[in-house]
Structure 1
Amino acid sequence: MNKQVSILAVCAILSLGLVVWLSQSPSKYKFEAVLLFDDLQEFANQVESLEIKNAQGVLFSAKKIEGRWLATFAQEQTAYPISQDKLSEFVEIMMRTKLVEAKTSKPENYIRLGLQSIDVEDSMASLVTLKTSDNAWQVLVGNEVTLGKGQYILKLDDPRSWRTDKTIHLPIDKYSWLRQPILPYQAQDISSVSRVDSFGWQIARSVSGDLQLINMPKDKKLEYPSILNSIVSSLTSLNFEEFLPNDEVFEQTLKIVTQLEVNTAQQNIFQVVVSELDNKYFVNFFSSNQTEYWQKWTYQVSNFSAQQLIKTIDDFLEQEEAITSNSDTKYQNVDEDDSPN
């Protein structure tokens, strides 16, 4: 009996010890998530430059110049405004991203996480650099995590790679974080638009603020009441796909499709030239005072966007076929009403 009690006592002690060990052992290996950059939040408002490089070179570069964030290109080119929303979102992500799981420390295995050095020709990684006047933060960003959110990253001062808790979205090209639409105007800022080539027409705002087609042809009416708004909204929402600095030699190769003159509520007047080359469409903006950033570039736009600006006066008016069809329907209804029961 005593022997059995002793055995049971030993088993109880062993079981209790196992429970205690199991409850304590995980804490030895548990990793508490830490911020990617523990001091970036403190200096975020002082960040004054951002650069993203990959194996092909500088993908995106921006600097804070006189309080404005501008994308910078080749030395001789004019800087371009960037999307403040995209920049704010990116810096916010970089501030709040945490390291949640340590990965490989072996350089030969970095390739599996997309973390090869950008000095390697076929590297898929991007090197992100944020700077203030006194501080700098750098991280190599690799593949996104296959399931769920997260990214594989490598801090340049740490051979360990890491999985983060957030996905770090980078620009897909040098244009994707730039300001869109092209023009800094809202539809209500435009007081008149005129086509000034051989297909001339003019749309202007009345005292009430409505758009009107000047010199409307007699016995004609608009296709629908708000159609004149379409040309204005097409201008103020015009996005580019790519752009290049104004170049007279290149511009001479373009075939002009239409020319518009735009007058703003502040009495600023500028011309819009839509051109075509090899089934691609381009837009330039000109005025007597070429000081605005959007007047210094030739923009490639989509075929659809270009077609919205190439309007003849007939495009605003109800067509004869529609009028005839409506008349036929009217007479048909009259005939049906007069038919005997």
Structure 2
Amino acid sequence: MNRRALMTIATLAVVLVVLAMFGQGRSTSPSLSGAVLLPGLGAVLNDIDEITLVRAGNETIASLRRSEQGWTVPEKGGYPADVAKIREALLALSEARVMEEKTSNPEFYDRLGVEPVESASAAGTAVTIRHGDETFSTVILGDVEGTGYRYARRADEALGLLIDRDPELPRSAPQWLVTGILDLRADRIREVTIDHADGERVRIFKDDAGQTNYSVEAVPDGRELQYPGVANVIGNVLRELALEDVERAPDDESVPSVTTAFRTFDGLVVTARGSERDGQNWIEFEAAFDAEPGAEPAAEPVQDEPGQDDPGEAADEDQGLDARAEAEAIDSTVAGWRYQIPSYKYEQMTRRMEDLLNPAE
């Protein structure tokens, strides 16, 4: 065997040894595929005390906290948080598992949206969950991938991951709130009065609950309504009324620019006081019971008929309510708060007579 053949054999032997060592090295570093993203979270899912969400520039989105009164959003004065959204987010995070390992190179984090949130250009949301004295690893949730997948990175680790869940995490504090304020159907509303600060009053009313359209009081001589049911939307404005934002009502008695009172046939009175600040409209509500002569009690609940499969469909959700107790319940919810509502709802709640009439000739 000549010298060249020996050198070739020696070189091949070295290559085989290196490959063997490389293979052994890889086998000693197990893949994270299938691993739980936040181990232990599922076991304490019902006992979480706080969830903090932070976005670019280290700006806190919301620090959701649980107390004896339930979940609240401190950034919004401690207003109640939407428990369903919190539950859904926690469940997704507790079930999330690693699908693939991605880059450990910080230069590529922005491709996944998992760069540190201290950066002003960070795309992800950092989520920190606390249970008692235990704080789980902060997770940076990055870009969505495909259908139902998402990139993520544990903030104290370098490796970016693809997880098999896409947790729904609203990126503003108001989106974590319980949004429902009031829900009064138009067929319960007997009259609405709108009093503007300049003295103008608009009053719409029904003589009985079976009346189709609201009548408009004091239509000017020679003028007519745009169409017979033009005022109906005013009577229905409290139907499924939801907030867009909320804040603590100030202690000082600010002068409202408009006061709108809704009176039901059974004596419930809801008063809305609206005012404008910095180009935004804010409304405070209060509820009371005032059974005027002629007020009709709420309808009795529909009784189950033999063989009726779903009596809930036949019974109106507002029937059988005690108006006095309803007023107390509403007032306990809205007292001390000031709301932003959708602009189209605010516009209907603050109509003027001219808005209901055909143009003057």
TM-score, normalized by the shorter chain, greater than 0.5: yes
Q: Partner of 1:242 in structure 2? A: 245
Residue 260 of structure 1 aligns to a residue in which SS?
Answer: strand
Once the two structures are superposed, residues 274-293 of structure 1 have per-residue CA deviations (whole angstroms, 9 ceiling, x without a partner) of 33456543322246899634
Structure 1 distance, partners of 2:241, 2:209, is 26
Say if 1:239 and 1:107 are closer, same or farther in 2 by CA, change over 3 A.
same
Measure the CA separation in 1 of the matches of 2:332 and 2:174. Answer: 19
Question: Cα offset for 1:294?
Answer: 2.9
1:1-341 matched pairs, under 5 angstroms: 32-54=33-55, 55-73=57-75, 78-133=77-132, 135-181=134-180, 183-187=181-185, 191-197=189-195, 198-203=200-205, 206=208, 213=215, 223=227, 230-247=233-250, 251=254, 256=257, 258-263=258-263, 268-277=268-277, 279-286=279-286, 292-312=332-352
Gaps of at least 5 residues in structure 2 are 1-25, 289-327
Match of 1:307, SS state, is: helix
1:41 & 1:265 partners in 2: Cα distance?
Answer: 50
Q: 1:193 to 1:48 in 2, by over 3 A?
A: farther
* 3-state SS, counterpart of residue 35 of structure 1: coil
Q: Displacement, 1:212? A: 5.5
Which residue identity lines up with residue 199 of structure 1 in the other structure?
Answer: R
User: TM-score, with normalisation over the residues of structure 1?
Assistant: 0.66
1:179 Cα deviation from its structure 2 partner = 1.7
Distance (Å, rounded) in 1 between the aligned partners of 2:211 and 2:80 = 31
Distance 2:191 2:347 in 1: 16
CA distance in structure 2 between the aligned counterparts of 1:79 and 1:189, rounded to whole angstroms: 34
Name the structure 1 match of 2:17. Answer: none
What's the secondary structure of 1:236's corresponding residue? coil
Secondary structure of residue in 2 paired with 1:129: strand
Task: Note the C-alpha offset of 1:320.
Answer: 10
Taking a change above 3 Å as real, the CA distance of residues 245 and 103 of structure 1, as seen in their structure-2 partners, is: same
Deviation at 1:224, TM superposition (A): 5.0
- How far does residue 308 in structure 1 lie from its aligned partner after superposition? 1.6
The answer as to whether partners of 1:127 and 1:138 remain within 8 angstroms in 2 is no
Change (3 A) 1:100 1:292: same
139 and 267 in structure 1: CA distance in 2 versus 1, 3 angstrom threshold: farther
CA RMSD in angstroms, aligned pairs only: 4.0
Contact persistence 1:36–1:95 (CA under 8 A): yes
TM-fit CA distance, 1:204: 5.6
Deviations 1:32-58 (A, max 9, x none): 423222432222122232211223422
- How many residues matched? 287
Q: Percent identity?
A: 17
Report Cα offsets for 1:209-237 as digits up to 9, x if no partner.
Answer: 9785487989x999456x66522432233
Partner Cα distance (1:98, 1:265) in 2: 56
Report the structure number with the largest CA radius of gyration: 1
Does the 8 A contact of 2:204 with 2:215 survive in 1?
yes
Bigger CA drift: 274-283 or 77-86?
274-283
Q: Name the structure where helix makes up a greater proportion of residues.
A: 1
State how far apart, in whole Å, the 1-side matches of 2:164 and 2:207 are.
Answer: 52
